[in-house]
Structure 1
Amino acid sequence: MALDVVALPKVLLHDHLDGGLRPQTVIDLAAQSGYDGLPETDAEALGRWFRESADSGSLVRYLETFGQTVAVMQTAEALHRVASECAQDLAADGVVYAEVRYAPEQHLEEGLTLEEVVEAVNAGFRDGERIAAAAGHPIRVTALLTAMRHAAKSTEIAELVVRYRDDGVSGFDIAGAEAGFPPTRHLDAFEYLRRENAHFTIHAGEAFGLPSIWEAIQWCGAERLGHGVRIVDDIFADEQSLADVTDTGTVDADLVRLGRLASYVRDRRIPLEMCPSSNIQTGAARSVAAHPITLLKQLRFRVTVNTDNRLMSGTSMSREMQLLLDDAGWTVEDLRWVTINAMKSAFIPFEQRLALIDDVIKPGYDPVG
């Protein structure tokens, strides 16, 4: 009997709200707001445009596609709709827990305050959860508030995380182009979050290499790494970095040597928020078969599987998992393992994580072996 991947419970830690809109919603919101910059006005054609534009192999070009989605997410009503649909779409795909990130500072063009942005998105997530539960697909969605690397609002965003952490916000993130904008520019925000016992992750090790990962962990204290795929630069076979020899994904995990940073990341069980399809689009990996996630899984790094941007990659959690099954030789047990990894690594209290693992995730995988 064929495996129904959609039916498997899933946990998603790395998903961007402005990267997951339905194409028709982008069109509807553009019409409502008077935005006339869309390259296509047919939903199917617009979805194809997003995917093709994101397939350039350049992270900078990939990020440019967000100008279209952010442009139509400038009112409370628009943010509420997008957040509600996000929760519904994830739930329909079998996601039982998700942390969805967005940058409040990017939604102020029509006069909203940072607080109004957060409250509109939170309300949308609650609305989407209610609709999903009524449809038989219960889900819990929390928000990660993102600061942009090139901007100067990181401390304000960190303060919002603390203010709303008991009202739907579970943590902080920093994102944007890595090269030239190190996370150390925002040390005040990270020091504040640590003082307030607040959780945070950092985009690192995607377009920029080991220095980005080292700074995120050692200077800033990141609990998780957004992507972290370039940790493979510090794993060696015959003294050659695996970044240069993983064309086929067939490296024997028993014959490799970990460098100091890779060993530290594994020893400390620092979660890696890995996004295979997105990494291929931005040039961080050559294919799903050759993606470092499989080797890192074999080496017992705490890897998790994520979507990053569902619209730009034309993907879902089920699609990412199916690709790993089909192209990288994964098993259902591997999917179960990374799902539990993700739930262990979530930014909600321990007892809530444990309840989802014991009551939802493990029973959801038991019937399929």
Structure 2
Amino acid sequence: MSSAAAEPTGLTRDTVLRAPKVLLHDHLDGGLRPQTIIDLAADCGHELPATEAVALGTWFAESADSGSLERYLETFDHTVAVMQSGPAITRVARECVEDLAADGVVYAEVRYAPEQHVEGGLTLDEVVAAVQEGFDAGVASAGGRIVVRQLLTAMRHQARSMEIAELAIAWRDRGVAGFDIAGAEAGYPPTRHLDAFEYLQRENSHFTIHAGEAFGLPSIWQAIQWCGADRLGHGVRIIDDITVHDDGSVELGRLAAYVRDQRIPLEMCPASNVQTGAATSIAQHPIGLLKKLRFRVTVNTDNRLMSQTSMTAELWDLVQAFGYGVRDLEWFTVNAMKSAFLPFDERLDLIERVIKPAYAELAAERSAGRD
């Protein structure tokens, strides 16, 4: 997991910015612009810990940088509070797409919990419609350079997962690509929502499960073997089932071997994983070893506001920590696109028409020394 063997590749942050990116794990309520929070808070009368954009952004970052997932989740009290009306949700969704497109993201699945946005009187259906309106406006504003889909999330400590699963099915041909559960893992195993997962499987639908972030291997095992997750949200603790011997040889436990053999995608979020204590540092993040072992690793932002991050920042951190080059970034990106909850022909089209040509051009620039 160490970056000791990393060597400078000459890659610049500008190259990383220009590279096409695919994002599978990004929370809508974790990516607001600080000024937008201030504007929306003024509209709804919500009190904030700071009323100037830079100061507020700093507050979110410092509050989230605690090493505790539970404290990290507390920061969402403010973002969710200002997302309780249709216009507010639509604005946040539009700006989300605009920000991702500006960061070079060509495909994104953005998740949120509809049940957390009904305090102002909206129905669950109206929440999804407001998000879709914002996504459509954002895609239009970005000139169609990005494809965005919704992931509907149920909170694992609540009892509305079946309702949200049915909502995801009702909207799956109108912008919703799949389902997720999120929230504190300890004490709230994914098996509490088994009926929702079984329903989604009967409906031939896709779902991911937050697992293996704050909690260990049992969370991952349940998500896969009991609930049938297509992907693992984070999955960092799969490293606990991998042994690196003194001679450098690596031994995979049965769960880790299954995850790798089945090509189960890991939605890893390096900056967030460090903030919540799931990893000690970027340089020691399990992603380094997991990539070497050819797990289906993807790179994601999780919560751009709380982590003060972007896809460019996440990948640039990995470049610096592990010496990754253009082809490594392409590997992460193609991994993510292969793992998206998008029809196969649409995934293939983005890989062949957008991703591979762009990376080929970047690689050619590197070879010519024009980076």
**TM-score where L is the length of structure 2:** 0.94
CA deviations over 1:319-346 (Å, ceiling 9, x no partner): 0010000122222111100100000000
State yes or no: 1:361 paired with 2:368: no
Partner of 1:305: 299
Would you say 1:76 and 2:70 are equivalent positions?
no
The aligned counterpart of 1:138 is: 145
Letter in 2 for 1:284: A
Secondary structure class of the residue paired with 1:27: helix
Equivalences for residues 94-133 of structure 1 within 5 A = 94-133=104-143
| 2:280 counterpart of 1:286 | yes
Query: What is the match of residue 223 of structure 1?
Result: 230
The residue type paired with residue 93 of structure 1 is D
1:62 aligns with 2:72: yes
Does the 8 Å CA contact 2:15/2:362 hold for their aligned counterparts?
no
* Counterparts of 2:345 and 2:245, CA distance in 1: 44
Q: 1:315 aligns with which of 309, 318, 338?
A: 309
C-alpha contact (below 8 Å) 2:95/2:138 kept by paired residues: yes
Is 1:347 aligned with 2:341? yes
Q: Deviations along 1:81-133, whole A, 9 cap, x unmatched?
A: 00000000000000000000000000010100000000000110000000011
Give the deviation of 1:186 after TM superposition: 0.4
Give 1:238 shift. 3.1
SS at match of 1:194: helix
**Partner in structure 1 of residue 30 of structure 2:** 19
Give the Cα separation in 1 of the matches to 2:18 and 2:41: 34
- Mapped contact 1:57–1:280 kept (Cα < 8 A): yes
Question: What 5-or-longer segments of structure 2 have no aligned partner?
Answer: 1-9, 364-371
Equivalent-residue separation in structure 2 for 1:238 and 1:309 (angstroms) = 35
Amino acid at match of 1:148: M
Percent identity of paired positions between Structure 1 and Structure 2:
70
Name the structure 1 match of 2:203: 196
Task: Give the letter for the 1:72 counterpart.
Answer: V
Determine whether 1:329 maps to 2:329: no
Regions of 4+ moved over 4 Å: none
TM-align CA RMSD: 1.1
**Paired AA for residue 128 in structure 2:** V
**CA deviations over 1:254-289 (Å, ceiling 9, x no partner):** x11000000000000000000000000000101111
CA contact (8 A) 2:153 2:182 kept: yes
For 1:224 and 1:295, locate their aligned partners in 2 and report how far apart those are by CA, in whole Å: 19
Note the C-alpha offset of 1:237: 2.1
Q: Aligned partner of 1:273: which letter? A: E
Corresponding residue SS for 1:218: helix
Helix, strand or coil at the partner of 1:73 = coil
SS, match of residue 298 in structure 2 = strand
1:367 Cα shift? 1.2
Equivalents in 1 of 2:321, 2:309: separation in Å?
Answer: 15
- 1:98 is paired with a residue whose SS is strand
Inter-partner Cα distance in structure 1 for 2:154 and 2:244: 37
Q: Which moved more, 1:271-280 or 1:2-11?
A: 2-11
Mapped to 2, the partners of 1:237 and 1:94 lie a distance apart of 36
CA contact (8 A) 2:182 2:209 kept: yes
Work out whether residues 93 and 138 of structure 2, in 8 Å CA contact, stay in contact via their aligned partners in 1. yes
> Hey, what's the Cα distance between the residues in 1 that align with 2:39 and 2:232?
35
Please give the alpha-carbon distance, in whole angstroms, between the structure 1 residues aligned to 2:340 and 2:167: 19
